[in-house]
Structure 1
Amino acid sequence: MIGTAEAPRARRWDQWSTSRWFASVLIVMVVLVLAGAAVGTAVLSRTASVSNRLSDRISPARTAVVELTAALVDQETGVRGFLLSGDERFLEPYARGLAGERALLARIRQLLEDEPVALADLDRVEQQAREWRTTVADPSIETRRRAGDPAAAVDAVLSGKAAFDAVRARIGTLDGHLAQIRDRARADLDEARQLRDLAFLGMVGFMLLFITVIAVLLRLVVVRPLDRLSVGVRRVAGGEFDHRLAVQGPADLARLTGDVETMRQRIVDAYIASQRARAALEQQQLELHRSNADLEQFAYVASHDLQEPLRKVASFCQMLQRRYSDQLDDKARQYIAFAVDGATRMQRLITDLLTFSRIGRVYDDSRSVDLDEVVEQAEANLAGAITERRARIERPPLPTVPGDMTLLTMLWQNLISNAIKFRDPDRDPVVRVAVGEADGMWQFSVEDNGIGIDPKYADKIFVIFQRLHSRETYTGTGIGLAVCKKVVEFHGGTIRLDETYRDGARFVFTLPRAPAGAEPSAEPAAGGTAETAGAEDGSALTVR
């Protein structure tokens, strides 16, 4: 029966959330504080009541009794002096004592209204004092005034002393009762103070015990499950992905543990999936390596074996034209010219495509490159076109960037070649280069005063083999700007056409900044004669 009764209770406790635990603890603490405050208030009120009774009633009453005794003594002394001397001035203390007696009796009754025994003694004192005045003092005063006999006055004094001693004895009895009441009040005050001290010590001890119990309870119910969850999470974070998290503690902490366990399981599933994907990716990489090897073989064939038949076709067609020119009509000579031109253009397309495919695979020698040297090399490669068309190139000092010098030479040579090639027929070409900083990168612009590019073709011009003009108007294969885009993106930058520029064409591109302290490369661009292949806008592609 005990086991079956405890199990549901344990389940009910487990259903409590952390906030409910803390709220319950807070409520219990508030109740205990209020109860302690009530007990403390009651104990302090009791102590204050006993203390006030002693200091405000009993002690002042005893003092008033002493003053009452003095007033009665003044009456007795005045009567005695008058009887012995016959001087009326001795009756003044009698009159003052009588007035003081009345005031003191009223005050003592007010102070001792809760003390019936003392009030009874006070009534007896008042009665005996009144009897003394009516039977002894007042008759003796009248007799002395009428007879004027000193001897009779002496007898009256002697007879009145015994009566007044009875009044004094009654006052002594009253004072004795007041002393007993005072002693009991002091004892009650000491008892109240002890009770107060014990109550406060008990409350402090109980609060300490309660705080200890609450701390242990919270440790067992909240802190320990949190510690276990933290240890489990750290083990999972450390790589033990198969470690399961036990659901323990309050309801919200149990839900949190369950959520973390669900997350762990999802991470494990994602990890297993990533391992499988990684294995598949490695397999794809192997296949890609084989494909690249095949592509390299194809590039070799394209650059050698495929171009050799084209050269033979062009050569034999030219030989046929020279040898049998006088036997051929104009139509035959035109056909031979078409064949030679097609073979030549096919050879140039193969060369340009091979160069485009090698960017990032063959030309990947990254180092610090001085762009001033790069542009000078590009200008040297284009010296013939610059001189022939009276082109002027304006540029500021250029920075050093990390990259491949050959690819960067291709980039600048293509952009400058385009600017010169697509010139305005009514003016000499001018190429302006600018440089600045943008988002931690070097930003360059190359603008010209040529025929410009319609903004609607801003994206099309960077696609390989895309042309905006016919071959008869501008030569080229339409690959130059595609090469520029691939070179810039290989170096981590971007390139675009500035669509807001209307006085020609302006290309804006970015390149990374060189690391601090990097030295520029002292090696010039690779040697050899540069061959150029026209892009769709006539850009020149440098092939080493």
Structure 2
Amino acid sequence: MLRRRLTTAIALPIVLLLLLSGISIWQVNSLRSALQWVDHTDRVISQANRVQKLLVDMETGNRSYLLTGEQIFLEPYTQAIAQIKPALNDLKHLVDDNPIQVQRVEELQQQHANWIRGVPNLALAQSNQAELRATLLRRKQEMDAMRSLIANFIATEEQLHSDRVRTVQQISRFVTATSVGLAIIIGAVLAYVSWQQLRKVAQTYTTMLASLQQSLDDRNAAEGALRNSEERFCRAILEAPLPIMLHTETGEVI
């Protein structure tokens, strides 16, 4: 019985600690997942800003080249053209979990392809200034549409970022509160269980000691009764009016 109680007293804290560990692991995983989504949104926003910069470089370089005819202005345009398609593909891959954002990227890719196909010939543009102005105005409107699209894309991601940061904060507060609460509850339960087990162990030992004391008292009482019996027997022999002969089992006289 005592061994079983001690086993229970040891097993229960282990079970409670395992429970606390399991809850803590679940909470940490939830917090880690939320932080990963925040980091993911940061990477999406960073990539979208990069696409936006490449669009600006394309427009600025192309317009400056058409207006001046200087090759030096083609450098940012050429670099942007080489990078914009992979950048858009990377952006689309990053948001493949969000159909609305994927649709925006696909629309941006289509608008970009149309804008590239409409690049005017330098010689033709310089020969007709009115046509050049009309072309630049049209292409600016097309680029404004792309900038508006990427701006809406970034605004959506920034809202997601804010929502996910709030989620992280909420989970962090929840983890802190539940960890403290569970620690207090488990500590109280362990203290109560330990007190109960110690009380039961103390009661068991008290009962055992009482039983042992009773056995000792019974033995002392039996020994006292035996001594009294021997004393009465001896007095009976000594006070007998006639001689009493005592014999051993072999018949010898004592």
Instruction: Report the TM-score range of the alignment, normalised by the length of the smaller protein.
Output: 0.7 to 0.9
2:178 corresponding residue in structure 1: 199
Measure how far apart 1:202 and its partner are. 2.4
Q: 1:83 to 1:147 in 2, by over 3 A?
A: closer
5+ residue gaps in structure 1? 1-16, 230-246, 248-253, 284-544
TM-score (norm: length of structure 1): 0.40
2:48 pairs with 1:65: yes
Runs of at least 4 residues off by over 4 Å: 271-277
Measure how far apart 1:165 and its partner are. 0.7
1:186 corresponding residue in structure 2: 165
2:91 corresponding residue in structure 1: 108
2:135 corresponding residue in structure 1: 156
Please say if residues 66 and 125 of structure 2, whose CA atoms lie closer than 8 Å, have aligned partners that are also in contact: no
Measure how far apart 1:204 and its partner are. 0.3
Q: Per residue, is there more strand in 1 or in 2?
A: 1
Please say if residues 39 and 199 of structure 1, whose CA atoms lie closer than 8 Å, have aligned partners that are also in contact: no
2:14 pairs with 1:30: yes
1:45 corresponding residue in structure 2: 29
Q: 1:268 to 1:150 in 2, by over 3 A?
A: farther
Give the structure, 1 or 2, with the largest relative contact order (CA under 8 Å, sep 6 or more).
2
Please say if residues 50 and 188 of structure 1, whose CA atoms lie closer than 8 Å, have aligned partners that are also in contact: yes
Q: Deviations over 1:293-331 (max 9, x none)?
A: xxxxxxxxxxxxxxxxxxxxxxxxxxxxxxxxxxxxxxx
The percentage of counterpart residues that share the same residue type is 17
TM-score (norm: length of structure 2): 0.81
Pick the aligned partner of 1:258 from 211, 214, 225. 211
Q: 1:264 to 1:99 in 2, by over 3 A?
A: farther
Pick the aligned partner of 1:98 from 73, 81, 94. 81
Please say if residues 81 and 90 of structure 1, whose CA atoms lie closer than 8 Å, have aligned partners that are also in contact: yes
Measure how far apart 1:65 and its partner are. 0.8
Provide the rounded CA distance (Å) in 2 between the counterparts of 1:213 and 1:147: 90
Measure how far apart 1:131 and its partner are. 2.2
Measure how far apart 1:271 and its partner are. 4.7
1:176 corresponding residue in structure 2: 155
Please say if residues 2 and 204 of structure 2, whose CA atoms lie closer than 8 Å, have aligned partners that are also in contact: no
Provide the rounded CA distance (Å) in 1 between the counterparts of 2:66 and 2:158: 36
Please say if residues 83 and 154 of structure 1, whose CA atoms lie closer than 8 Å, have aligned partners that are also in contact: no
Q: 1:147 to 1:67 in 2, by over 3 A?
A: closer
Pick the aligned partner of 1:145 from 123, 132, 139. 123
Query: What amino acid maps onto 2:67 in structure 1?
Result: L
Measure how far apart 1:194 and its partner are. 2.0
Query: What amino acid maps onto 1:28 in structure 2?
Result: L
Aligned length: 233
Question: Per the alignment, in what secondary structure is the counterpart of residue 114 of structure 1?
Answer: coil
5+ residue gaps in structure 2? 236-254
Superposition CA RMSD, Å: 2.5
Provide the rounded CA distance (Å) in 2 between the counterparts of 1:207 and 1:101: 57
2:32 pairs with 1:19: no
Measure how far apart 1:107 and its partner are. 2.3
Query: What amino acid maps onto 1:265 in structure 2?
Result: D
Provide the rounded CA distance (Å) in 2 between the counterparts of 1:30 and 1:119: 50
Q: Deviations over 1:320-375 (max 9, x none)?
A: xxxxxxxxxxxxxxxxxxxxxxxxxxxxxxxxxxxxxxxxxxxxxxxxxxxxxxxx
Q: 1:269 to 1:94 in 2, by over 3 A?
A: same
Q: Per residue, is there more helix in 1 or in 2?
A: 2
Q: 1:78 to 1:257 in 2, by over 3 A?
A: same
* Residues 302-317 of structure 1 aligned to structure 2 (within 5 Å): none
Largest Rg, 1 or 2: 1
Q: Deviations over 1:472-500 (max 9, x none)?
A: xxxxxxxxxxxxxxxxxxxxxxxxxxxxx
2:113 corresponding residue in structure 1: 130
Query: What amino acid maps onto 2:80 in structure 1?
Result: G
Provide the rounded CA distance (Å) in 1 between the counterparts of 2:140 and 2:22: 58
Question: Per the alignment, in what secondary structure is the counterpart of residue 148 of structure 1?
Answer: helix
2:69 pairs with 1:86: yes
2:57 corresponding residue in structure 1: 74
Please say if residues 55 and 80 of structure 2, whose CA atoms lie closer than 8 Å, have aligned partners that are also in contact: yes
Provide the rounded CA distance (Å) in 2 between the counterparts of 1:65 and 1:52: 18
Q: 1:20 to 1:167 in 2, by over 3 A?
A: same
Q: Deviations over 1:137-157 (max 9, x none)?
A: x2x1x2x23453262433322
* Residues 442-481 of structure 1 aligned to structure 2 (within 5 Å): none
